[in-house]
A and B are shown apart, each in its own frame.
Chain A
Amino acid sequence: MRTPRLYLRLLGAHFRSMLEYEADFVILALATVLMQVVNIVFLAALFAKVPDVHGWTFWSVLIMFGAVALAEGFCSLFFDGMWSLAWQINRGDLDYFLVRPYPVALQSSSANVGINGLSNIVMGGIMIGTGLAHADIPWTPWRALLGVILLISSVVIKLSINLATNAVSFWLSSPTPMFAFAMHQVGDLARFPLSVYPVALKAVLGAVLPFAFISFFPTAYLLDTGQSRWLGLITPLVAAYCAGAAALVFKRGLRRYESAGN
């Protein structure tokens, strides 16, 4: 219990320092809301003229957009420091982390609070909620529980991909997380039904970097739409695999760390 408690205290310290700049705080939170509103307007305008895309309606695509927003939001709000890992390695800041009796990855990821994450969680939650309310799902306690598990798994997958791709900075030694950011942008593709993409992209989003398990496969399973709906059931397994792989990549990378020297 000590690890999560300390983690929240680390985050809390950054949160308090952020509150010093109240206007900046509000600007970032509102800008994120605006981005999601634009996404919703886009989807509404698109589906006003088109009934569905490969069987996917406005409400189901809204759920996928919401799932990506929610997973991203969770990562920004609680683990935004990961994005400064490249900088921390480049500057040799990891020296301090290594001598403290606390997991290095968690010290790195708690180095920042992305308040944009709060907006994304709220907007993502609203999008998923409205989408599910308009979907014709026979809710049972078992299905609701499964929905929650799928949601948690999708957040874990996003978090693991973020950690693994940012840990690549141990090898690239660039002060900016170029690789991780490029992969993050690839993840935006998974907001649309996977069936619209060519085979090569399906393989990338479904297996190499399983972004599709953040949004598409869980939604497909819950809504019982599309050809590969049962794949949504293995989302928790994919999450476990991703978390393990990310931990391994980080560990391997950390062994390569050789400070900045003076």
Chain B
Amino acid sequence: MRGYRALIRATARAALAYRFNLLLGLGGVLMQLVALLAVWRVILADSPVNGFTWPQMRAYLLVAFAAGTVVSIMGDFRMAFRILDGDVALDLVKPIDYQRARFAEALGGLWIEVVLIAVVVGIAMALTGGVDVPAAPGLALFAVSMLVLVPLKFLIVYVSTLACFWTQNFMGVQWARLAVVNLFSGALIPLAYLPGWLAGAAQWSPFAGLTSTPALIFLGRVDGRHALVLVAVQAGWVLALWFGARLVWQRALRRLTVNGG
């Protein structure tokens, strides 16, 4: 464990050095927040649509922003470039588990993401008004859901980044992932607005846990057993992806060719 703790500390210190990645990760999510806040404010000014009032939608979008910012800065770029450059060979000779080491790095970058979330959410609430915080059990479940979101998001990014063993084009893979996650997680629009069959598929996919689940719990739109089931699905996907990623990794290693020098 000591090795991983050291990695977390090292990444936490290095986090500020990756300003461009920070911007890449944050900018898109931030602009989406601004645009959607502006659009929904106009739409919901007079009456709620589909059961969402303006304060609720505001809270939903802020949770979506927080969920979109978590684990977006440190992991994928560095890992992708190391695979494409062949530097991944150096990671392989280290006596630590590759997947856990990358997870440790993602954890190391968390503090800066939390700071950014606090700043942006603070400004957004000052400009557009506060949000209703749910009652204690709901809040506790929301906290659990946000915690489960960290490994879930890491794993989805990790598995998609492993695609770099098959293709040189990391950007294409990343864009495709962002598009799919944006829609199926409910970050772009709450799943309740999608057609029934699409919403149903998204609900049970691993992506719903990336925005929809914590946001709906925060709004109190799901409660009691239903909320517990959603968090259980979230956690179930973490387990499935954690071991699934190991299978992908084993296959990926067979593809690895590193040019000497």
Determine the residue in chain A with the shortest Cβ distance to B194: A45
Determine the residue in chain A with the shortest Cβ distance to B177: A31
Q: Nearest chain B CB to A208's CB is how many angstroms away?
A: 16
Q: Is B121 an interface residue (CB 8 A)?
A: no
Q: Is A185 an interface residue (CB 8 A)?
A: yes
Q: Is A46 an interface residue (CB 8 A)?
A: yes
Known: A38-B183, A53-B42, A196-B42. A31 touches B175 (CB 8 A): yes
Contact A192 B167 (CB under 8 A): no
Q: How far is the CA of A53 from the CA of B39 in the complex (A)?
A: 8
Q: Is A23 an interface residue (CB 8 A)?
A: yes
Q: Is A189 an interface residue (CB 8 A)?
A: yes
Stretch at the interface among A122-130, A176-184, A213-221: A176-184
**B39 to chain A: which residues have CB within 8 Å?**
46, 53, 192, 196
Q: How far is the CA of A32 from the CA of B193 in the complex (A)?
A: 24
Known: A34-B180, A45-B194, A53-B39. A178 touches B31 (CB 8 A): no
Q: Nearest chain A CB to B224's CB is how many angstroms away?
A: 27
- Report A89-138 residues with CB < 8 Å from chain B CB: 116
Q: Is A1 an interface residue (CB 8 A)?
A: no
- Report A40-77 residues with CB < 8 Å from chain B CB: 41-42, 45-46, 48-50, 53-54
Known: A24-B169, A41-B183, A192-B38. A46 touches B193 (CB 8 A): yes
Q: How far is the CA of A21 from the CA of B168 in the complex (A)?
A: 8
Q: Is B201 an interface residue (CB 8 A)?
A: no
Contact B172 A24 (CB under 8 A): yes
**A186 to chain B: which residues have CB within 8 Å?**
31
Contact A45 B195 (CB under 8 A): yes
The majority secondary structure among interface residues of chain B is helix
Determine the residue in chain B with the shortest Cβ distance to A179: B23
Contact with A along B161-205 (1 / 0, CB 8 A): 000000111011101101110110000110001110010000000
Partner pick for A178 among B20, B167, B173, CB 8 A cutoff:
B20
Partner pick for B179 among A24, A38, A188, CB 8 A cutoff:
A38
Total residues of chain A contacting the partner, CB 8 A = 40
**B171 to chain A: which residues have CB within 8 Å?**
28, 31
Known: A53-B42, A181-B23. A31 touches B35 (CB 8 A): no
Q: How far is the CA of A182 from the CA of B22 in the complex (A)?
A: 11
Contact B23 A35 (CB under 8 A): no
Contact A34 B189 (CB under 8 A): no
Partner pick for A189 among B24, B31, B173, CB 8 A cutoff:
B31
Determine the residue in chain A with the shortest Cβ distance to B193: A45
Q: How far is the CA of A96 from the CA of B112 in the complex (A)?
A: 40
Q: How far is the CA of A49 from the CA of B39 in the complex (A)?
A: 14
Contact A185 B183 (CB under 8 A): no
Residues in B lying within 8 Å of A, measured CB to CB: 19-20, 23-24, 27-28, 30-32, 34-35, 38-39, 41-43, 49-50, 167-169, 171-173, 175-176, 178-180, 182-183, 188-189, 193-195, 198
Residues in A lying within 8 Å of B, measured CB to CB: 21, 23-25, 27-32, 34-35, 37-38, 41-42, 45-46, 48-50, 53-54, 116, 174, 176, 178, 181-182, 185-186, 188-189, 191-192, 195-198, 201
